[in-house]
Amino acid sequence: GEDVEQSLFLSVREGDSSVINCTYTDSSSTYLYWYKQEPGAGLQLLTYIFSNMDMKQDQRLTVLLNKKDKHLSLRIADTQTGDSAIYFCAESGGYNKLIFGAGTRLAVHP
C-alpha cells in the first residue's frame, strides 16, 4: 500500500542549511507536499511539487524530487530559530487525499 517515510529528528545550527528527507512508495502520486507544524498550531502548507518536476525553489526553500528513487527532500537555507517545527512530507494518494509521513522534528540551536 501507500507509505511515506521520514527520519524523525534533525538538529542544525542557526545559519546552516537543513535538509529533510522523505521516501514514498506510490509511483502514481501526482503531487508531493511539505507542511510545517509549529507547537500547538495547525498545518501550514510550505510548498508542493508536481511529479513531473525535479526541483522547485521558493525563497529559502528548495525541493528536490527523484522520481526514480521515490525520494523527496526539503532544503531550508540559512535556518533560523523560527524554523524549529515538525515538517511533514505528504503524497497525494488520489482524489486529493493526502498520505502523510510521521514528521521530522527540526531543532535549531545557536
Partner 1 sequence: SAVISQKPSRDICQRGTSLTIQCQVDSQVTMMFWYRQQPGQSLTLIATANQGSEATYESGFVIDKFPISRPNLTFSTLTVSNMSPEDSSIYLCSVGVGPGEQFFGPGTRLTVL
* Residue 101 lies near partner 1 (rule: CB under 8 A): yes
DSSP 4-42: EEE-SEEEEETTS-EEEEEEE--TT--EEEEEEE-TT--
Query: 71-108 burial by CB neighbour count: b if 16+ within 10 A, else e?
Result: ebbbbbeebeeebbbbbbbbbbbeeeebbebebbbbeb
Give the residue, chosen from 25, 50, 55, 77, that forms a contact with partner 1 under the rule CB under 8 A.
Answer: 50
* Residue 87 lies near partner 1 (rule: CB under 8 A): no
CB of 45 to partner 1, least distance (A): 6
* Residue 9 lies near partner 1 (rule: CB under 8 A): no
Cβ proximity of 35 and 92 under 8 Å: no
Q: Which one of 12-20, 60-68, 77-85, 93-101 is the stretch in contact with partner 1 (CB under 8 A)?
A: 93-101
Give the residue, chosen from 13, 71, 97, 109, that forms a contact with partner 1 under the rule CB under 8 A.
Answer: 97
Give the residue, chosen from 12, 31, 60, 75, that forms a contact with partner 1 under the rule CB under 8 A.
Answer: 31
Cβ proximity of 71 and 22 under 8 Å: yes
* Residue 96 lies near partner 1 (rule: CB under 8 A): yes
Binding site for partner 1 (CB under 8 A): 30-31, 33, 35, 41-45, 48, 50, 88, 92, 95-103
